[in-house]
Amino acid sequence: MTPRGVGEDDHARFERPRRRTRPRTKIRPDYSDAVVGMVITIDRGRYTCLVDDHEVTAAKARQLGRKGVIVGDRARLVGDVSGDEGTLARVVEVLDRQTVLRRTADDDDPYERPIVANADQLVIVTALADPQPRTGMIDRCLVAGYDAGLDPLLCLTKADLASPDELIAMYGPLDVPIEITSPGADLDSLRERLAGRRSVFVGHSGVGKSTLVNALIPDANRSTGSVNEVTGKGRHTSTAAYALQLPPIDPSTSSGPSSAEPGEGPGWVIDTPGVRSFGLSHVSRDRIVAAFDDLERFVADCPRGCPHDTGAEDCGLDAAVERGDLSAARLESFRRMITTDQ
């Protein structure tokens, strides 16, 4: 006889609780009515976003991933978007990006590092001396800019220390606009090129990026540094990318018509930390050729897999030069750019 209270059904009381069988919902939250802001800087997991005319500090939703938000992104925010001290919103969605400027640590690195989103102009800042200009760095920045669909602008600083003639001769054939500055110089021409644009400043440390930003935007207060006397290289001062809105151009001091389109405002400048290298493992040469309208039509005559560099057999670019359809100086500048070392 089975003792009272003991049986098969009694052991069921000690079974592990069963998992919930209710399926997960496939309905995702709708953030279409969330506030949209522009990410202007990122610091230790906190995202500063400009919403209307005030700044909002936000955290990032887990589903966006570790690198899902970068400076320049337009993002949807929920939570407290008042911007009051001690409040925290949450970035829940990133809107489609028009452009993304990327680099890799070196040419063997398979991992892309997005730098800035939604810029339309790449300002390559290079000192003419102290530190000495490195054309390899300029060329690599140009390649990354063309690949991202950005319009390049070469800004040569410290013209009081050295002549810009050599660099002008090197990059003139590529039709890259060039601005030349020196301490205390009039920046109206540069301001007009920046007006109405979203411009990202890149370059080595010590070339004067942050100094330029402070001159263009007096209340920017970007940190500036000096050049190491032993290595001849700049010291890192800016530690994070930061987007700043330019003040309106004063028509009474402007030397020419502004390039800003109606309704676009005075433009934005995105200051980035100085970089020592600019890897291009994410870029293909064919994509670079496609950025040059006058070159792309000639590569259709190239054999499959043509590298387009010096010595390439039956390259359509060489044939175009022989026919007189393409400037030899322009082709030489292009080839130097796509085969450059650091």
With a cut of 70, say whether residue 251 has pLDDT above it.
no
With a cut of 80, say whether residue 10 has pLDDT above it.
no
**Exposed e or buried b per residue across 92-115, where buried means at least 16 C-beta atoms within 10 angstroms of its C-beta:** bbbeeeebbbbbbeeeeeeebebb
Sole residue written with tokens 């570790």: 66
Percent of the chain with pLDDT over 90: 47
Q: What is the pTM of this model?
A: 0.79
Task: Check residue 4 and give its pLDDT.
Answer: 54
Q: Which residue has the higher pLDDT, 6 or 56?
A: 56
Q: What is the pLDDT of residues 287-338, one digit of tens each?
A: 788 888 788 889 988 999 898 988 889 999 999 999 999 989 889 888 888 8
Strands 121-127 and 151-157: parallel
Task: Check residue 129 and give its pLDDT.
Answer: 94
Burial class (CB in 10 A: 0-12, 13-18, 19+), 220: middle
Task: Check residue 35 and give its pLDDT.
Answer: 96
Cis omega (within 30 of 0) on the bond before 131?
yes
Determine which of 82-86, 147-151, 186-190, 231-235 has the lowest per-residue pLDDT on average.
Answer: 231-235
231: pLDDT confidence band, cut at 50, 70 and 90? very low
63: pLDDT confidence band, cut at 50, 70 and 90? confident
Determine which of 165-169, 237-241, 289-293 has the lowest per-residue pLDDT on average.
Answer: 237-241
- Asked if 281 contacts 108 with a C-beta cutoff of 8 angstroms, the reply is yes
Q: What is the pLDDT of residues 183-200, one digit of tens each?
A: 988 999 999 999 999 999
Task: Check residue 337 and give its pLDDT.
Answer: 80
13: pLDDT confidence band, cut at 50, 70 and 90? low
Determine which of 11-15, 58-62, 101-105, 194-198 has the lowest per-residue pLDDT on average.
Answer: 11-15
